[in-house]
């Protein structure tokens, strides 16, 4: 698959999963994400929150779609800001790869993409 195709699927995936009104696009989360992005200690904070952010991502991904809004409402803005940071990192990675017109070996069908996207969000090797 081309990186452009994977990028389009990524956008749809994160929008449907995380960018709900109660999720990472809520004004409180966006404000916290902006504060986080502007701090000089962003890399240290990412590492401090890494395991917890992984846990939040897994919880969100395992939650049935019909219950996800309720779960997202229960997660604090700071935790969701770190989830938003992971989404942004994945997006930036795909943009950089697309600019180089690279192909990604994620399988030939869309069924393999959710696993690939989960690995991207958890910042793990997708192999």
CB 99 within 8 A of CB 5: no
Using alpha carbons, list the distances in angstroms from residue 117 to 34, 42, 52, 100, 106: 24, 23, 18, 20, 10
Q: Is the pLDDT score of 110 beyond 80?
A: no
The sign of the CA dihedral 14, 28, 79, 86 is positive
Mean pLDDT to the nearest integer, 24-28: 92
Q: How confident is the model at residue 109 (pLDDT cuts 50, 70, 90)?
A: low
Q: Is the pLDDT score of 126 beyond 70?
A: no
CB 98 within 8 A of CB 52: no
Using alpha carbons, list the distances in angstroms from residue 89 to 46, 68, 121: 11, 22, 8
Q: Is the pLDDT score of 40 beyond 70?
A: yes
Sequence ranges of the domains in the chain: 3-121
More reliable by pLDDT, 1 or 57: 57
- What does pTM read for this prediction? 0.90
Using alpha carbons, list the distances in angstroms from residue 65 to 3, 48, 95: 26, 29, 27
| Residue-level pLDDT at 102 | 75
Q: Is the pLDDT score of 127 beyond 80?
A: no
């Amino acid at each position: 698959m081309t990186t452009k195709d994977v990028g389009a699927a990524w956008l749809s995936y994160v929008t449907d999963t995380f960018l709900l009104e109660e999720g990472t696009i809520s004004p409180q989360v966006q404000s916290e994400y902006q504060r986080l992005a502007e701090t000089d200690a962003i890399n240290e904070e990412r590492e401090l929150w890494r395991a917890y952010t992984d846990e939040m991502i897994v919880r969100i991904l395992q939650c049935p779609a019909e219950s996800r809004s309720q779960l997202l409402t229960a997660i604090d803005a700071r935790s969701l800001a770190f989830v938003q940071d992971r989404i942004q990192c994945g997006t930036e990675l795909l943009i950089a790869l697309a600019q180089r017109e690279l192909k990604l070996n994620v399988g030939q069908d869309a069924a393999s993409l959710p696993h690939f996207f989960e690995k991207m969000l958890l910042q793990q090797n997708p192999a």
